[in-house]
Chains A and B, each alone.
Chain A
Amino acid sequence: MRENKPLEKIIIDLKERAKELNCLYEVQEILHKPGATIDEICNKIIQAIPPGWQYPDICQAKIVFRGSEYTTKGFQESKWTQCALIKIQEEEAGQICVFYTEERPNLDEGPFLKEERKLIDTIASQFGLHVLHYQLKKVFEEKKSLSERKMNEWEVIVDLLNRTDPKLLIRISRKMVNYLYWNGIKEAEKLLNYFTPAYKEDDDLFTETNRPHQQKTGNDLTKLSPEIFQTAGKYLSEKEILANIQKWIKEDHSGFLVNILENTGSSLAEISSAVERFHHITPHSLELSPPREKSFRVALINRLLSEQHSFIKIAKQFIKVDSFTELMHKCIFPVGSHGKLGGKSAGLFLAQQILKKAAKENTLLEKIKTPKTWYITSDGLFNFISFNNLEDIIEQKYKDIGQVRQEYPYIVHIFKNSSFTPEIIKGLSMALDDFGDVPLIVRSSSLLEDRMGAVFAGKYKSLFIANQGTKQERLIELLDAVSEVYASTFGPDPIEYRSEQGLLDYHEEMGILIQEVVGKKVGPYFFPAFAGVAFSYNEFRWSSRIKRSDGLIRMVPGLGTRAVDRVSDDYPVLIAPGQAQLRVNVTLDEIIRYSPRKIDVINLEKRNFETIELRHLFRDYGHEYPYLTKLVSIINETHLQPARPMGIDFSKDSLVVTFDSLVNNTSFIKQIQTVSHTLQKSYDYPVDIEFAHDGEDFYLLQCRSQSSRPECSPASIPEDILPEDILFTANKYISNGTISDITHIVYVDPQKYSSLSSRKDLLAVGRAVGLLNKILPKRQFILMGPGRWGSRGDIKLGVNITYSDINNTAMLIEIARKQKDYVPELSFGTHFFLDLVEADIRYLPLYPDEGGMILNENFLLNSKNILAEVLPEYAGLQETIHVIDIASFTGGRVLQVLLNSDTEVGIGILAHPTEISGLKEKRDASLSKALKTDTHWRWRLQYAMELASRLDAERFGVKNLYLFGSTKNATAGPASDIDILIHFTGTDTQRSDLLSWLEGWSLSLSQTNYMRTGYYTANLLDIHIITDEDIKKRTSYAAKIGAVTDAARPLPLGTALKD
């Protein structure tokens, strides 16, 4: 609009500017005229003002200063006014106002121009400065003359204060009275009375003036101060008085901060400006006493970061008041906000401060960076909700979980179509200007996250945004992401989790963390050279030489998402920083098989988050990949060659991500170890950190206590276990966790295995295990056997299996039985260690021959062995392989394995499923979802019976229908399928009819399961059709029918049809 204005308008504008300048010059002249009194100056200024304004004819001016009022001739007030405060040393001393006596068209500020606003502000501030100068000059002059009659130094100060800052003098007088009183000086008692309200009232009674109460008291107290200081002079040394006055003046400078921080009602905006002001005065005039500084720290931590005692205890040692200044600059909050930043933000901020402090003593920490981050405070969410009148949504958490799940997509939709308050939009817009167009991650930072070790990892959304395009596009994208993260508070997963953890009734507020994504642009992509997670404690040791305190790093090339979560189709690289040379994978085969193949990136062109094949990336953009030679090795026929600068031919060479050069030739491992140790020491508990490296710098992205991760929470081991209930104990290389509801054990007897006489028999044991792996209920059986499972060397050392032969087990146990004079080395599952880790299959080594360890061989060898029933063709191996259906042998009990690496105790106990339902929940929670233990099988059973009752046996040629597996055994989890065995005698047409009839059931049951649990399984029914011939031959599934234990359960057919 402005660009197009006609010439005429421009001339008018210029004239206005000239008028304004004239006015300013005139004011300057008035102020600088020597010898002028305040009265004179004020009277002249009001004359000078009107000509400077756009409509001088109708312009009136007024100055109110220290109780006096100066006005232009014929002054009258009106509603068209513009005022500016006169401040002297931050104290309001009066104001200058301009009035138009008639209405004029609306411009920038009512009828006034924005230039006029500047003008009046300038005049007011010039005036304020002049008065201050005037006062000080007077004081100095007087001091000069007084010093001739040898005044005490403190007297000079008191006098000076009396003239320049009477309020300060009152506060200091008050402190002096207190001081005298505390020092046992009688006269002070009388003085103290003056400060009590009672005194003021009395005083009121005796005065006859009608001046305002406040002012009177103030003046009176000022008059009191000579008396107070005379008393002080009598009892205290001059030095002592002076020292005290100086100390109090200094402290008084920060008084504003005390007032704001101590007042729980003060808003974030007030705190922010107070912190800002504090920041500006600290360098010169502030020396806070340590207790006062500490009280500031604690108050700020309390208001902004966390009220958790444990957090404050640590944070107050590291976070300085000044550290908040920059933080506050990057905070976005609603008007009158009382929010906090949330757990994630607080954790990162604290870690940052700890490292900053430690960097002074350790150069390795000097270059640790944190990405640029902006924060939206936790009450932003409620502000958003109320601004859009979405209050109903708060009730969401009390609804049935199925309903929550159903309604969630609508909530997301509504949130994404709601608007933000202007101050939030403004804040985010500022944030975007600060970030520029680098990709961003919008993460939740929940207040509940730092509470009681609750694990919200992955419950709320974190969204990557490309942040490309015009400012408007970027802002829209950012707002969209924030609203989606907000919506995730009302998603089924967090609500379900909160309900399990008993956190539902806590008020959930969610802060937001907007972080610059660390990385470099490579082709159309953006990503860090590598990223990952580092743990202080290693809970996944793959060698007996690795100690728990050696730590663990999981890292991947590109964005750290693939290292933070378990990925089913790929492998992160594991390194124990304390033993960085002991890698999981040693042979070329292993290294290649278990190396990362994919990479998470942000595609800047498509503006989305993508997973792409590493080899394609190397082929197309290998030259641009930052730090690549530190990350990859070249496969050179039969060996790996570390990549060297200029040594890679991207069109030909096969590259494999090994991080070899990073480990061997850089200080990275030392650096991350130092970070981890430093944080662990400061927090006084093990931590896990997320990090990223852009090829130049190491960035810390997150820091929290390690025990808050599900896989790291130690099991509490009961003390009153009966010895006969113990199956085994372990005290070495224990990880943390609880494995419950194990219904079957496959035990390969070490003695019998090693005495097998032919290679054929040894191989057969492996094959039998592989078949058991497919038949036994998934993740409800454990494998126990000698030495090294899956050893590719000497078959005698351990059962010859591949990962696919054991991939359904819940746990793999290697038993090291003493042989003659030595105990064999165990493999720690290294042959498929990464497979085990990614599939959450636990590994445990047992050393039963060591003192105090238990292995209940009596139970394992003498419980009924059902191998011959399950796998008739391997009946010949039943001396060696024992398959135990625990429940049927123990009267309904199951095996539960409790692991606690803090105490290095692992124990396998037989317990009733009910006894451990609490633990089951814990485990399910650790698998991130799930409802109560017994609900999954119950409704599955109901539906299975319903299905059977509606099955027309004649129509489909079905003789019998059986239920087996987890649904029958009452151990189904949220992802379990329903195993059904159908004895079929019909024709091919009937068979295909039957299958399509069942498919319908299967699909609708999958949907039901999804609604209940959030688990989506393509087909919930797992149908096994067997024929007469199968039954005759008793092939594996048919063997389930009429089996002595764990028999498939027949369900009555067609009962619903007959009715």
Chain B
Amino acid sequence: MNRSVYNPFQTAQAQFDHAADLLELDQGARDLLRNPMKEFHFSIPVRMDNGRIKVFRGFRVQHNHARGPAKGGIRFHPQETIDTVRALSMWMTWKTAVADLPLGGGKGGVVCDPHNLSPREQEQICRGWVRQVLKNVGPYSDIPAPDIMTNTQHMLWMLDEYEAIQGEHFPGFITGKPVGMGGSQGRTEATGYGVMIAVREALKELSVNPENTTASVQGFGNVSRYAIELFQQMGGTVTCVSCWDQIDQTSYAFRKKDGINLDELLSIADPFGGIIKEKAADLNYEVLPGSTWMEQEVDILVPAALENQLNADNIKNINSRVKLIAEGANGPTTPDADQFINKKNIFLIPDLLANAGGVTVSYFEQVQSNMNYFWEKEEVLGKLDVKMTSAFIAVSDFAKANKLNMREAANVIAVSRTADACRNRGWI
């Protein structure tokens, strides 16, 4: 293979190296954190519907568990590579560290395409996966969760296999379970609310009253909807929201200068995240091309849809009034756009921090499962607020103290916390 070929793990290592340089980590710490601590590769034989046996490749990578049990999703992907899983497990270590959760980072997967598998076959893969790594995972060592092409159902099959073999109940073995089956309240709201809790704290630092701010949001899925809801509760005004139109195969931005009405838009949205443009026009919304969401004269931009939305081509189109960008989606800003944002002195809440609400509630699910006592939604959301607020303040203080931008600060603080934990354990 050509060495210059794109490799996600190498990209992740390069990012780590940059933080390690800033922290002046010694070689031992670098060697430990640059690579996963444990990797499991195994075969899962499955009897297919036609009676034949097919063997699937499975992985589990535990990048680091110095801060607590490894946590991370299980992916089903037809051309899963170990390097992708390594990179993602490392990313989970940093993510849990930024949110200051007592967890490490892990990731797993099976090389398969669910499009070619019947539900029964998928179930056999899930159960097979658990049987192969049973001794190396568990509520106090490594907690899986759903990821690409896996869902609640897969988690329940895995949990059932684990508990069947152990002969006891361990709902804390896995997260992403439905409410009533060991799932946590508030998971739907978590990411969107988390984004706005971070925004609230950032505005405090900028000494801006949320009631005097306006925002434009990209996307109208779960993250955006709850972000808008909380922002409006905070007194802010959302003037524009954009979303994908399945029929026209393009996106539209819906604008109302004196503020959109969330309930009104929800009533004309399909359950698939799209707003019906004719009905929006009837309700006196301006229907604009999708790309205009970021050109609005607002204080806050919330990209909460896809990656690479703010890039070199369009970043100059953002309005001079914008003072805050909160990354609700993963990786919505390209490095080129990042430079521009820094140059313009726009406050950016990086994805690692801004969307940490999701992993935080997963952690709560695990905690509740372990004690088999489940909180009311208010309690979950209250605790989320506390966690997010302190995570934000820690990153922000670190940035100020070390003259870093927020993205760098989040990356560095994550590495720093993990390295400290390793050091305290006497590993390095």
Q: A989: CB under 8 A from chain B?
A: no
Q: Is the CB of B75 within 8 A of A793?
A: yes
Q: Is the CB of A638 within 8 A of B114?
A: no
Q: Tell me what chain B mostly uses at the interface: helix, strand, loop, or mixed.
A: loop
| Interface residue? B270 (CB, 8 A) | yes
Which of the 9-residue segments A145-153, A542-550, A1044-1052 touches chain B? A542-550
CB of B187 within 8 A of CB of A637, answer: yes
**Given A569-B247, A638-B152, A793-B79, A615 and B271 touching (CB < 8 A)?**
yes
B-contact 0/1 string along A292-326, CB 8 Å cutoff? 00000000000000000000000000000000000
Binary A-proximity of B256-299 (CB < 8 A = 1, otherwise 0): 00000000000000111000000000000000000000000000
Contact B6 A584 (CB under 8 A): no
Chain B binder among A585-593, A724-732, A914-922, A998-1006: A585-593
Q: Do the beta carbons of B113 and A825 come within 8 Å of each other?
A: yes
| Nearest-Cβ distance from residue A918 to partner chain B, whole angstroms | 33
Q: Is B319 in contact with chain A by the CB < 8 A criterion? A: no
Rounded to whole Å, the gap between the CB of A545 and the closest CB of chain B is 5
CA distance A787 to B78 in the complex (A): 11
A587/B114 in contact, CB under 8 A: yes
B249 engages A581 (CB within 8 Å):
no
Residues of B within 8 A of A586 (CB): 114-115, 149
Question: How far apart sit A638 and B148, CA to CA, in the bound complex (Å)?
Answer: 12
- Which of B79, B119, B179, B334 has most chain A Cβ within 10 Å? B79
Which residues of chain B are near A756, meaning CB under 8 Å? 5-6
Q: Which residues of A contact B80 (CB under 8 A)?
A: 793-794
Question: Interface readout for B304-333 with A: 1 if CB under 8 Å, 0 if not?
Answer: 000010000000000000000000000000
A507 at the interface (CB under 8 A from B): no
Q: Does any Cβ of A come within 8 Å of B345's Cβ? A: no
Q: Is A762's beta carbon under 8 Å from chain B? A: yes
Q: Counting CB contacts under 8 A, is A912 at the interface?
A: no
User: CA separation between A593 and B244, bound complex, in Å?
Assistant: 12
Instruction: List chain A residues, Cβ under 8 A from B187.
Output: 637-638
Interface: B246 (CB within 8 A): yes
The reply to whether B270 and A597 contact each other, CB–CB distance below 8 Å, is: yes
In the complex, A654 Cα to B121 Cα: how many Å?
28
Q: Which residues of A contact B81 (CB under 8 A)?
A: 794
Whole-angstrom distance between the Cβ of B32 and the nearest chain A Cβ? 26
Whole-angstrom CA separation of A787 from B179 in the bound complex: 38
Is there a chain B Cβ closer than 8 Å to A804's Cβ?
Answer: yes
Is B6 touching A757 in the complex (CB atoms < 8 A)? yes
Residue ID in chain B nearest A754 by CB atoms: B5
User: Looking across the interface, which residue of chain B has its beta carbon closest to that of A592?
Assistant: B272
CA distance A544 to B117 in the complex (A): 11
CA distance A756 to B75 in the complex (A): 24
Question: Once the chains bind, are B116 and A582 in contact (CB under 8 Å)?
Answer: yes
User: Is B405 in the interface zone, CB < 8 Å from A?
Assistant: no
Question: Which chain A residues border B2 with CB–CB below 8 Å?
Answer: 755, 757
Number of A interface residues at 8 Å Cβ cutoff, please give it. 52
Contact A637 B6 (CB under 8 A): no
Cβ contacts under 8 Å, B153 to chain A: 639-640
A635 at the interface (CB under 8 A from B): yes
Contacts of B115 in A (CB 8 A): 542-543, 582, 584, 586, 827-828, 830
Inter-chain CA distance A615–B274, complex, in Å, is 14
Q: Which of A568, A755, A825 contacts B5 (CB 8 A)?
A: A755
Tell me if B144 counts as interface (CB < 8 A to partner A).
Answer: no
* Cβ contacts under 8 Å, A639 to chain B: 151-153, 178
Interface size on B, residues (CB 8 A): 44
User: Given the complex, which residues of A lie within 8 Å of B151, measured CB to CB?
Assistant: 587-588, 638-639
Please pick, from B79, B121, B149, B152, the residue contacting A825 in the complex, using a CB distance under 8 A: B79
Q: Are A762 and B148 in contact (CB under 8 A)?
A: no
Say whether A797 faces chain B, with CB atoms less than 8 Å apart.
yes
What is the 8 Å Cβ interface bit string for chain A, positions 778-794, against chain B (1 contact, 0 not)? Answer: 00000000011000111
Would you call A2 an interface residue if the criterion is a C-beta within 8 Å of the partner chain's C-beta atoms? no
Q: Is B30 an interface residue when CB atoms closer than 8 A count as contact?
A: no
From A542, A635, A636, A792, contact of B271 by CB (8 A) = A635
Inter-chain contact A581/B49, CB cutoff 8 Å: yes
A638 to B361, CA, bound (A): 14
Q: Contacts of A654 on B, CB cut-off 8 Å?
A: 271
In the complex, how many angstroms separate the beta carbon of B124 from the nearest chain A beta carbon?
A: 12
Bound-state CA distance A542–B187 (Å) is 34
Give 1 or 0 for each of B51-76: 1 = CB within 8 Å of chain A CB: 00000000000000000000000010
The answer to whether A794 and B84 have CB atoms under 8 Å apart is: yes
In the complex, residue of chain A having the shortest beta-carbon distance to the beta carbon of B335: A760
Please tell me if A859 contacts chain B, counting CB pairs below 8 Å: no
A902 located at the interface, meaning its Cβ lies under 8 Å from any Cβ of chain B in the complex? no
Chain B residue numbers with a CB within 8 Å of A543 are 115-116
- Chain A residues with Cβ below 8 Å from B209 are none
Return the contact of A545 from the options B116, B146, B270, B334 (Cβ within 8 A).
Answer: B116
Cβ proximity bits A609-643 to B, threshold 8 Å, 1 near / 0 not = 00000010000000000000000000111111100
For residue A239, CB closer than 8 A to chain B, the reply is no
Any A CB within 8 A of the CB of B402? no
Chain A contacts with B in 730-767, Cβ cutoff 8 A = 754-763
Residues of B within 8 Å of A804, CB to CB, are 249-250
CA distance A656 to B113 in the complex (A): 23
The answer for the CA separation of A787 and B246 in the assembled complex, in Å, is: 25
B249 contacts A803, C-beta separation under 8 Å: yes
Instruction: Provide the bound-state CA to CA distance between A593 and B84, in Å.
Output: 27
Chain B nearest Cβ from A283, distance in angstroms: 50
Residue contact A758 to B118, C-beta cutoff 8 Å: no
Q: Is B423 an interface residue (CB 8 A)?
A: no
A656 to B2, CA, bound (A): 46
Query: Does A796 touch B at the CB level, under 8 Å?
Result: yes
Give the chain B neighbours of A592 by CB distance below 8 A.
271-272
Whole-angstrom CA separation of A803 from B249 in the bound complex? 8
Tell me if B4 is interfacial: C-beta within 8 Å of chain A.
yes
Is the pair B6, A762 in contact by a Cβ cutoff of 8 Å? yes
Within 8 A of B (CB), among A100-114: none
How far is it, in angstroms, between the C-alpha of A755 and the C-alpha of B79 when the chains are bound?
16
Shortest distance in angstroms between A1033's beta carbon and chain B's nearest beta carbon? Answer: 14
User: A639, A762, A830 — which one has the most chain B CB atoms within 10 A of its CB?
Assistant: A639
Given contacts A615-B271, A639-B153, A825-B78, contact A581 B119 (CB under 8 A): yes
Query: Does B120 make an interface contact (CB < 8 A)?
Result: yes
Assess the A582–B118 pair: CB atoms within 8 A.
yes
Known: A636-B178, A639-B152, A793-B79. A825 touches B116 (CB 8 A): yes
Chain A: CB-nearest residue to B150: A587
Considering the chains assembled together, what is the distance between the CA atoms of A579 and B270 in angstroms? Answer: 31
Say yes or no for A807: interface residue by CB 8 A criterion. yes
Further pairs besides A755-B2, A757-B4: 11, Cβ < 8 Å: A544-B116, A581-B118, A593-B272, A638-B151, A638-B152, A638-B176, A755-B4, A756-B6, A759-B6, A760-B334, A804-B250
> Could you write out 29 A-B pairs with CB less than 8 Å apart?
A543-B115, A543-B116, A581-B118, A582-B115, A582-B116, A587-B114, A636-B152, A638-B151, A638-B152, A638-B178, A638-B187, A639-B178, A640-B153, A641-B178, A656-B271, A756-B5, A757-B2, A757-B6, A758-B6, A759-B6, A761-B6, A762-B6, A787-B79, A793-B148, A793-B149, A794-B8, A794-B81, A824-B78, A825-B116
Nearest 8 CB-CB pairings of A with B: A581-B118, A639-B152, A804-B249, A757-B4, A586-B114, A793-B77, A830-B115, A543-B116
B residues with a Cβ closer than 8 A to A are 2, 4-6, 8, 11, 49, 75, 77-81, 84, 113-121, 146, 148-149, 151-153, 176, 178-179, 183, 187-188, 246-247, 249-250, 270-272, 308, 334
Query: A residues engaging B (CB < 8 A)?
Result: 542-545, 568-569, 579, 581-582, 584, 586-588, 592-593, 597, 615, 635-641, 654, 656, 754-763, 787-788, 792-797, 803-804, 807, 824-825, 827-828, 830
